[in-house]
Structure 1
Amino acid sequence: MPALDKKRILVADDTLPMRVMLQDVLTEAGYDVVTAGDGEEGWKLIQSGTHFDLVILDLLMPRMTGFDILERLKAESPGQCKVLVITGIFKSHKEIVRLKSLGACGYITKSALVDEILFRVNQVFYIGHENTRKFPRLLMSVPVSYRIKGAQFSNYTSNFSAGGAFIRTIDPAPIREQIDMVIKIPGMEGAIEAAGRVVWTNEYETYRRKSCLPGMGIEFLEINPLSQKILSEFISEKLVNEPVWLT
C-alpha cells in the first residue's frame, strides 16, 4: 500500500480475538487501525470527528448492531465512510440485499483466511479493483470437469456461487485463461454448463506458506438461463437451511 496515503480503518467487533487478529493483520499491512469493542463505542468513534477511510463492522454486537450503525450512517451521514461488514453467517440472501441498500461496500466472513481479508480490504482502496463480488459462495465440494485449450481435466470445487466457482488444483491455469466447465450438483439431474475465465489463483507454494487452498477462481462469462436458475435456487435454499458459505 502506498506509504504516502496511509489509510485509517476502524474495526468494531465485540469478539476480542477477532478484533486483535484484524488489528494485527491490518497494521502489519500498513494500515492505521483503531478498534471498538461494541457497536455503541464504534458509533461514538465514527461521530467523533476522526476520519476513517473504512469501517469494518461486525453485524452482531451488543448495544448497537452493525445494521443499526449502517442505518444511522445512511440517515445522518451518507457517504461519510465506506463500510465493510464482517459476520459469521446470514439468515438468507435478503440480508445481503439489505446490506447493499444500506450502503455497505462489501462483506467478509469470520472464517476467511488472512489473505482473503487483506484482498477484500485492498479492493476497497485500489482504483480499478472495486469490491464487485455480487454473490455469496457456498462452501461445497462437488465434481467439476473443465476444458482449457482442448485439454480435459477433472477436479472438485471448494466453493461456488451463481457467478463463479473455485476449483481445487495444484496446477491452476494462468489468469484470464478461458475455461469451459461442467459442474455436477448433488441430487440434480444433468449438470451446470458454463464458460468462464480464470480471475485469480493460489499456487501450490502459496498453499504451503499460508494454508490457502491451491486452485483457481473462475468467473462465469456465459451460462444458459436454465442452468443459472437451477444454480441460484440451489444456493438460495442452502443459504437458508445450511448457511455454510463465505463471500
Structure 2
Amino acid sequence: MPFATHALSQQSGVSAEPSRKVLLVDQAKELRLYLTPLLRAVGCEVVSVDNMLAARVELGRCRPLMVVVDWRVLPADGSPGCVALRSHAQHGDVPILVVVGEHTPSELLETCVRGGAEDCLLGPVRITELQARLDVLRERTPGSPVWPVERRTPRTVLLVGEAPNTPGGLGADLEACGHHLLYASSTEQAVARVAEYGEPIHLLLTRARVTSAEEMMRVERLRTEARLTRVPTVVVADGDVTEVPMLGQVWLSARTLAPRHLLSRINGQLQRNLAALLVDERVPFVCPVEYREVGSYAWSSCYSSELSPGALFVRTLVPARPGAALELRIHLSTIREVLEGPGIVTWSNPYTARRTASYPLGMGIQFLGMSPRRLMHLRELIRGTRLM
C-alpha cells in the first residue's frame, strides 16, 4: 500500500458554493446523538444514514461537505468499506472522515485507508477538531498556508516515464518526501501537464533505459518543448551511466545507486535534505495518532499511514505547520499501548479543493530525541509489519 495512493480523486465536482450538509453514517446511532447538536451549532445540516449502501444512495442526491463514518459500520471481513463511497461517479471525491475509538481494531482502520478515507478522529470527538475541518472544507482558512521559510515550501517535480503508484517507483518515494508530483508518460503529455499546472516546476525528472546520445537529445527536446530549459533536469537510467556529454543534464544509475542514495541525490537537486526521514525504509503502518504543538493544550487526532525508523507519515485534512515541534501519542490498538515521543513537521500538505498535482494530504513528522528503548520499539514494529 504505497503512500502515493492516498491522493484525493482528481474529479471536478467541486461546487462554487460550499455545501452545508454533512453526511453521517452511524449504525449504532450513538455518534449522531453526540455529533448532530455540535454540527448544527456550527451551521451544518446533518443527513444521517445507517450503512454505507444508504450513504452511497445519498451521495446521488446531494454533494455534502464531508462524510463522517463511525467505524462500527465498516465491514469486519477486511473489505474496503469506504470504496462504496469513493467509487461514486459524481461525488466520489467528497472527503471522508472516520471516527474511531482507542481500541478500534487496526484492521478496520486499514480498510478505511485502502478505501480512500482522508482523515480520522479519535473519539470522543472534540468540537475544536470538528470546527477546524469544517473551516478548511468551507475555505474559511487559506488552502495554502503561509510557509515560514523557503526551505520548507513544497517542491514540484515533473516525472516523465513513470505512472502514479508504481510499486517501488521514484514517484511514491518523492511524494513521501512531501513533494508535489506531475506524472506524464510522453513528451506530449508532459507539455500538456506543465501548461495545465501553470505554476513553477522545480525539477524535471525522467526515466531512461540506457545512456545514449539519442536519449539525451530526447530529454533535451522535452526540455525545449515544455519550456523547462532553465529547470534542473535529472535522468535516472536503468543501466549504467557512461561517460558522454550530458547537455546540462544530471544522469544517475538506478543499477549502481542504492534507493536511499538515489533519492538523496534527487532531493539535493531540489535543495532539500530529507535523509532523516528514511523514506526508503518506510512500511505501511495504520493506527490513530494524536499530536499537539509544544506549549499547546489542545490535542488533534489523525491516523498514520506509514512508519520508518526516522519518521511517521500521517494523514489529515488539517496538518500542523511545517517546522512545528510536536508531542506525539501513537495508539497501538493491537497491543493496547500508547507510544509517546517528540517530533518535528518536516513537510505539510493541507487540504485544498482543487489540485492538479499528486501529493499526500497530511504531514511527515521526523522523530526527535527518541530514547534508545523507544527507537528499538519502533524498529520491532517495522520488522513485525514486514513479516506480516
Flag whether TM exceeds 0.5 (same fold).
Answer: yes
Secondary structure class of the residue paired with 1:212? coil
Equivalence map 1:1-247=2 (5 Å): 21=184, 29=201, 31=204, 33=206, 35-36=208-209, 42-43=239-240, 46-51=241-246, 53-55=250-252, 57=254, 66=255, 70=256, 83=257, 85=259, 104-106=261-263, 121=266, 123-127=267-271, 129-132=272-275, 133-134=277-278, 136-148=281-293, 149-205=296-352, 208-210=355-357, 212-239=359-386, 241-242=387-388
TM-score by length of 2: 0.37
Q: Deviations over 1:5-37 (max 9, x none)?
A: xxxx9989xx9xx89947658885463856216
CA contact (8 A) 1:11 1:55 kept: no
State the AA in 2 paired with 1:137.
Answer: R
Q: Which residue of 1 aligns with 2:47?
A: none
Q: Structure 1 residues 177 and 229 mapped into 2: Cα distance closer, same or farther (>3 Å)?
A: same
Residues of 1 paired with 2:258 and 2:353: CA distance?
26
Residues of 2 paired with 1:41 and 1:175: CA distance?
34
Residues of 2 paired with 1:146 and 1:226: CA distance?
21
Secondary structure class of the residue paired with 2:383? helix
RMSD: 4.0
CA contact (8 A) 1:141 1:159 kept: yes
Residues of 1 paired with 2:316 and 2:160: CA distance?
36
Secondary structure class of the residue paired with 2:369? strand
CA contact (8 A) 1:55 1:84 kept: no
State the AA in 2 paired with 1:36.
Answer: R
TM-score by length of 1: 0.55
Q: Structure 1 residues 192 and 186 mapped into 2: Cα distance closer, same or farther (>3 Å)?
A: same
CA contact (8 A) 1:10 1:36 kept: no
| Count of aligned positions | 173
Instruction: Tell me by how many angstroms 1:193 deviates.
Output: 1.0
CA contact (8 A) 1:206 1:214 kept: no
Secondary structure class of the residue paired with 1:141? strand
Q: Structure 1 residues 194 and 56 mapped into 2: Cα distance closer, same or farther (>3 Å)?
A: farther
State the AA in 2 paired with 1:42.
Answer: G
Of structures 1 and 2, the one scoring higher in RCO (CA 8 A, sep 6+) is 2
Q: Deviations over 1:145-166 (max 9, x none)?
A: 1222221122211212221212
Q: Deviations over 1:151-190 (max 9, x none)?
A: 1122211212221212222111111111100112343352
CA contact (8 A) 1:193 1:223 kept: no
Residues of 2 paired with 1:56 and 1:22: CA distance?
20
Residues of 1 paired with 2:209 and 2:258: CA distance?
15
- Percent identity between the two aligned chains: 22
Residues of 1 paired with 2:309 and 2:291: CA distance?
17
Instruction: Tell me by how many angstroms 1:235 deviates.
Output: 0.3
**Alignment gaps of 5+ in structure 2:** 1-158, 171-182, 195-200, 212-235
State the AA in 2 paired with 1:140.
Answer: F
Instruction: Tell me by how many angstroms 1:225 deviates.
Output: 2.1
Instruction: Tell me by how many angstroms 1:106 deviates.
Output: 2.9
